[in-house]
Amino acid sequence: MQLYHAAASPFVRKVMVVLHETGQVDDVTVVPAHVMPLETKDAALSHNPLGKIPVLTRNDGPALYDSRVICRYLDARKGGALYPEARIWELLTLEATADGIMDAAVLMVYEGRARPEDKRSEAWVEAQWGKVSRALDAVDGLWISHLRGRLSIGQIAVACALGYLDFRHADRNWRSGREALAAWYADFAERPSMQATRPDA
Ligand SMILES: N[C@@H](CCC(=O)N[C@@H](CS)C(=O)NCC(=O)O)C(=O)O
């Protein structure tokens, strides 16, 4: 299998953490990808018409995207422990919440990098941060109990979202007023799978 990859992408990191946690790192060859909303040439586009990464190519079927599909596929290959049936809808909603944080945080970066300066909107950037902030409050409150206990895709997704906030939006100080979440992340970030996939390493 080949994984279209960029170390800075929190969505790619989710997949990499799942590969580490399920013992499948050696089953995948990493292919560097250079994607941006205005990019039309990267090879990832030949596998994903949306032009986004991660993309996972397989020998026995069509390429898979996006990160939610790839993570579930990889986990299913190893027995499905990251998606326990008893809590499946809650975990998938938690994963969607974390992915939403990543979506908004990535769009904030694109606003500064991909859009010409005179067309950038401060109000739009702040509205994206509003989504991040509300979602963080929900994870720190409503969802915090789901971050405890056995490893799940919900935990991995939240950790990758928080890692991205540290990487790209450290000045926003997401930990402020969210002590429970900050304490949980300090612990989770020590896992070898998280250390091996740090975007700033
Ligand atoms: N929902 C997708 C989102 C993936 C995504 O937005 N990836 C970014 C990199 S972090 C990307 O490929 N951006 C290129 C673009 O938007 O054209 C997933 O979970 O895989």
Mutate which of 5, 53, 64, 197 for ligand 1? The one with the most ligand atoms within 8 Å of its CB, which is 53
pLDDT on residue 43:
86
Backbone angles phi, psi at 113, to 5 degrees: -105, -35
- Please work out whether the CB of residue 52 comes within 6 Å of at least one atom of ligand 1: yes
pLDDT on residue 201:
80
> How far apart are the CA of 27 and the centre of ligand 1, in A?
23
**Which residue has the least CA distance to atom 5 on ligand 1?**
52
Q: Which of 63, 25, 27 is nearest to 44 (CA)?
A: 63
- Please work out whether the CB of residue 164 comes within 6 Å of at least one atom of ligand 1: no
The arrangement of secondary structure in 85-194, i.e. its CATH architecture, is Up-down Bundle (1.20)
Q: Which of 56, 54, 80, 77 is nearest to 67 (CA)?
A: 54
2-77 and 85-194 agree in CATH topology: no
The arrangement of secondary structure in 2-77, i.e. its CATH architecture, is 3-Layer(aba) Sandwich (3.40)
pLDDT on residue 185:
98
- Please work out whether the CB of residue 104 comes within 6 Å of at least one atom of ligand 1: no
Name the stretches of the chain with pLDDT < 50. none
pLDDT on residue 140:
97
Q: Are 180 and 140 in contact (CB under 8 A)?
A: yes
Q: Where are the beta strands (DSSP E) in 33-146?
A: 55-57
SS3 content of the chain, % helix, strand, coil (to 5): 60, 5, 35
- Please work out whether the CB of residue 99 comes within 6 Å of at least one atom of ligand 1: yes
Q: Which residue ranges make up each domain of the chain?
A: 2-77, 85-194
**Token reading at 184:** 């949980």
pTM higher than 0.95 for the full model? yes
**Which residue has the least CA distance to atom 6 on ligand 1?**
52
